[in-house]
Amino acid sequence: MLTVRELTKRYGDRTVVDGLTFTVEPGRVTGFLGPNGAGKSTTMRVLLGLAAPTSGEALVDGRPYRDLDRPALRVGALLSTGSAHPGRTARAHLRAKAVGTGVPRSRVEEVLEQVGLSDAADRRVGGYSLGMRQRLGVADALLGDPGVLVFDEPVNGLDLDGVRWMRALVRRMADEGRTVFVSSHLMSEMEAVADHLVVIGRGRLIVDAPLTEVIGAWSRTHVEVRTPDPGTLRERLERRGPAVRVEDGPGLLRVFGAPAAEVGDLAYEAGVRVHGLLTREASLEQAYLELTGEAVEYGSTGGAR
Ligand SMILES: Nc1ncnc2c1ncn2[C@@H]1O[C@H](COP(=O)(O)OP(=O)(O)OP(=O)(O)O)[C@@H](O)[C@H]1O
């Protein structure tokens, strides 16, 4: 289990993580979602003892990482940086780590097999593809058979096979009862893999809830209409009942509470031209935009509003 309590991390006068509190429970995949620069990697680095908190605490099984007895047996991490020296082979890298952490050597062959690298294990890591390096990173994380896994953007740069493989692995690890904490800025990825979500923006907690609850509460199936005459259509629709939201884009309406056929028929009756009519299913992407709209804008402009 992971516990983050009132965690704050500052670099100079910049607050990167701001009073963050949440727990990551075993037996499910917890997705850690937030726009670029939201503080996900920093939070994970503090959990893994790679950065010190400014205040508050980040605990693995109830203790700060540095107080763990044989931490490799407790928590395995996959970070974007990768830890293997390019001149080393995967097998040599894992054997050295096994010796350093007191893990039996036989475990090296098990994890190589588990990540599908047995045949490539005697090649230098420098010649590995990104996908192979990710697999090695996973082997490294699993070496001590830890009950807690922390993966930072594990599908970044993977091809479709790699993505599927990673999803299945993450699912299996949670089903085995491990605590699995996975960050991503990709909503489709989180939707595919997470049971529970912790969403942050600007270092602060935005939501901590089951995935289905996040989608249910923050997203609704609706009809997207493009029309050169949004004013008339909006008025007609609202008179009949459905809620209508006018978007910034030219002639874009979102209609809640009426199927596409009804919206199309109403436009026809009103003599309003329709250039696009699309049903948008409730999704994490929609929920996320509702939740973090401000934070995304902040992230893309790089400055406070
Ligand atoms: N060692 C450091 N010194 C100074 N600033 C840092 C340091 N590490 C991270 N930051 C800053 O903290 C902010 C949050 O970074 P972090 O990597 O935690 O975000 P993130 O949510 O993981 O986003 P991304 O997906 O872009 O990695 C960024 O603006 C980053 O520049």
What is the ipTM metric for this complex? 0.92
Which residue lies with its CA nearest to atom 24 of ligand 1?
A: 36
- pLDDT above 90 covers a percentage of the chain that reads 66
146 lines ligand 1 (CB under 6 A): no
Kindly state whether residues 182 and 226 are assigned to the same domain.
no
- What is the pLDDT averaged over residues 102-122? 94
pLDDT confidence band for 305 (50 / 70 / 90): very low
- What is the pLDDT averaged over residues 42-47? 97
Q: Is 68 a domain residue?
A: yes
- pLDDT above 70 covers a percentage of the chain that reads 95
List the CATH number of the domain containing 250.
3.30.70.100
pTM value is 0.83
Residue to mutate (ligand 1; options 42, 155, 206; most atoms within 8 A of CB): 42
Token pair for 287: 């929920």
Kindly state whether residues 197 and 236 are assigned to the same domain.
no
Tell me which residue of 219, 166, 217, 215 sits closest to 195, measured CA to CA.
215
Q: Is 150 a domain residue?
A: yes
Query: Beta partners for 280?
Result: 222
Whole-number Å distance, alpha carbon 99 to ligand 1 midpoint, is 32
Kindly state whether residues 106 and 16 are assigned to the same domain.
yes
Q: Is 20 a domain residue?
A: yes
pLDDT at 185: 84
Q: Is the pLDDT assigned to residue 209 strictly greater than 90? A: yes
pLDDT at 81: 65
Which residue lies with its CA nearest to atom 7 of ligand 1?
A: 11
Most confident of 157-166, 173-182, 187-196, 237-246: 173-182
pLDDT confidence band for 263 (50 / 70 / 90): very high
Are the C-beta atoms of 6 and 56 separated by less than 8 Å? yes
Q: How many domains does the chain have?
A: 2
55 lines ligand 1 (CB under 6 A): no
Instruction: Please report the atom of ligand 1 found closest to the CA of residue 153.
Output: 25
Q: Is 301 a domain residue?
A: no
Residue to mutate (ligand 1; options 11, 33, 50, 186; most atoms within 8 A of CB): 11
pLDDT at 176: 97
pLDDT at 284: 84
Q: Is 303 a domain residue?
A: no
Kindly state whether residues 175 and 80 are assigned to the same domain.
yes
Residue to mutate (ligand 1; options 16, 81, 155, 185; most atoms within 8 A of CB): 16
Token pair for 185: 């800025």
Kindly state whether residues 47 and 164 are assigned to the same domain.
yes
Q: Is the pLDDT assigned to residue 83 strictly greater than 80? A: no
Kindly state whether residues 230 and 170 are assigned to the same domain.
no
Kindly state whether residues 144 and 247 are assigned to the same domain.
no
List the CATH number of the domain containing 114.
3.40.50.300
42 lines ligand 1 (CB under 6 A): yes
Average pLDDT along the chain? 89
Identify the domain containing residue 13 by its residue range: 2-209
Kindly state whether residues 108 and 245 are assigned to the same domain.
no
Q: Is the pLDDT assigned to residue 299 strictly greater than 80? A: no
pLDDT at 8: 98
pLDDT at 218: 78
Kindly state whether residues 243 and 119 are assigned to the same domain.
no
Kindly state whether residues 102 and 225 are assigned to the same domain.
no
Kindly state whether residues 100 and 177 are assigned to the same domain.
yes
pLDDT at 278: 92
Instruction: Please report the atom of ligand 1 found closest to the CA of residue 14.
Output: 5
